[in-house]
Amino acid sequence: MGEIHWLLPWRRLDKRAVLDAAQTLAARMEDVSIEVDEEEPGCVSCLFIVEDPEEPYVVELSFYEVDGDVVLALEEEWADNADAWDAACGIAEEMAEVVGGQQLEL
């Protein structure tokens, strides 16, 4: 566990593009809703609210700009990511596919 990052082929961070990608991914999943919020300039968070009948949880992913690049990040301390790490990794990997991200080795 810890954190995973993907480099995106985007020239700039666009909240609308994040929302579109999150909606595309959520449409593939069952009992999932999303919230997308621009936390500050250069940082957009995306919450996937999973209505699991046994134990609902929230996975948080963040998109941010770093030195002219756009990065997707999953960190275990955000939302319920640590408690639902396997599910969080799956959602993050699928999001990376939707947005064309390449995993970074840090």
Q: How far is CA 10 from CA 56, 59, 99, 100, in A?
A: 32, 23, 9, 9
Q: Quickly tell me which residue has 């020239």 as its tokens.
A: 11
- One of 3.30.70.60, 3.30.310.240, 3.40.50.880, 3.40.50.300 is the CATH number of 3-101, namely 3.30.310.240
pLDDT in tens, 2-55: 899 999 999 999 999 999 999 999 999 999 999 999 989 999 999 999 998 889
Q: How far is residue 39's CA from residue 37's CA, in Å, rounded to a whole number?
A: 6
Inform me whether the pLDDT recorded for 100 exceeds 80.
yes
Model confidence at 87, pLDDT cuts 50, 70, 90, reads: very high
Interatomic CA distance for residues 51 and 65, integer angstroms:
30
SS3 78: coil
The domain spans of the chain are 3-101
pLDDT of residue 97: 98
Q: How confident is the model at residue 85 (pLDDT cuts 50, 70, 90)?
A: very high
pLDDT of residue 93: 98
Structure tokens at 14: 């666009």
Q: Where does the pLDDT of residue 105 fall: very low under 50, low under 70, confident under 90, or very high at 90 and above?
A: confident
**pLDDT value at 70 more than 80:** yes
Q: Please state the pTM of the whole predicted model.
A: 0.93
